[in-house]
Amino acid sequence: MIRNKFEKWLEKNEGKSANVAYGYKIAINRLSRHYSENTGINTNIYSIKNLAVLQNIENDYTDGRFNSYGKESSGVNRAAISAYLRFFRSLDISKIIFEGISENNEDTEDNPVFTLERDLQKSLELQVDELFPEYNISGENNEGSQYNIYCKKIDLLLKHNSENELLVIELKAGRADFKAFGQISMYMGPLMQEFPNYNISGLIIAEEIDDSLKSACLTNDKVKLKKYQIKLKLEDI
């Protein structure tokens, strides 16, 4: 994947330490999300194949409209996008296209939102006992992870330990707006038909909750909202 090539290129060609190279790689994910949220254009910087487009984005974060965000994280954001532009200029563009990296391919490892949501789901699954002590992942073989319902996949389906209750969990990386309410309702409806003797409720978990989502949830007390926090934990080795 191109983001891993970028990380290795930083170490080999620019003499960056492994920690710095990894930080730059993650910063590009962060910039992709910021650019998408602030322009309304769904953008994965790692999927861009046009040099002019990438140059414009780099300028936005170094000298342009998003200059202040570029300076955040002690300037790592700005340094990362400039380094990625240098990396991109060193690539054989025809090879990038041949490898099938698409600007509109959302469900790939390189998509920052998809990757973060996948990581969040894995973390949540490992902490179900702690975060939801009255629930377990539905199914004897954890079928509740990416549970299929009418050709749709629920992030996580939990079953109450003693009651006929199912909890639908929808994870959103970054900000969740009113569209998340429609999405989780689309899951809960079919579950109500499939499990008529169960009480079905929903929980949307996101880093930020948009006011439009809060308003939507006022119409249905079965859907609750929670915010997650990502914390850094250090261990001695």
Give the CATH number for residue 165.
Answer: 3.40.1350.10
Average pLDDT (139-150) is 78
Final residue of a structural domain among 70, 104, 138 = 104
Q: How far apart are the first and last CA of the chain?
A: 30
pLDDT digits (tens, 9 = 90+) for 20-43: 999 999 999 999 999 999 988 888
The domain containing residue 181 runs over which residues? 115-227
The CA-based diameter of the chain, rounded to the nearest angstrom, is 62
* 219 — pLDDT class (breaks 50, 70, 90): very high
Q: Which residue has the higher pLDDT, 97 or 57?
A: 57
Q: Are residues 71 and 124 in the same domain?
A: no
Mean pLDDT (the chain, rounded): 84
pLDDT at 230: 64
Please report the pLDDT score of residue 201 as a whole number: 96
In a domain, 92, yes or no: yes
Structural domain includes residue 110: no
> Do 122 and 97 belong together in one domain?
no
Confidence tier at 157 by pLDDT (50, 70, 90): very high
In a domain, 234, yes or no: no
Q: Which residues have a Cβ under 8 Å from the Cβ of 130 and sit 6 or more positions away?
A: none
Give the pLDDT band (50/70/90) at residue 225: very high
Q: Which residue has the higher pLDDT, 93 or 179?
A: 179
Per-residue pLDDT at 84: 95
pLDDT tops 50 at residue 77: yes
Could you tell me if residue 153 is inside a domain?
Answer: yes
pTM > 0.75: yes or no: no
236 located within any domain = no
Q: Which of 44, 77, 104 is the last residue of a domain?
A: 104
CA pair distance 157, 169, nearest whole angstrom: 6
- Looking at residue 234, its pLDDT comes to 64
Looking at the 3D structure of the chain, how many domains does it have?
2
CA 87, 93, 96, 97 torsion-angle sign: positive
Residues 71 and 123 in one domain: no
- Concatenate the DSSP letters of all residues of 25-76 into one string: HHHHHHHHHHHHHHHS----GGG---HHHHHHHHHHHHTSTTHHHHTTGGGH
Which pLDDT value is given to residue 110? 45
Whether 6 and 70 share a structural domain: yes
Tens of pLDDT, residues 2-22: 888 999 999 999 999 999 999
Domain annotation covers residue 37: yes
* Closest C-alpha among 190, 178, 179 to residue 148: 190
| pLDDT per position as a tens digit, 98-138 | 343 333 344 444 444 545 667 777 778 888 888 999 999 98
Single residue among 45, 72, 104 that ends a domain in this structure: 104
212 part of a folded domain: yes
- The predicted structure's pLDDT at residue 228: 84
Residue 109 lies in a domain: no
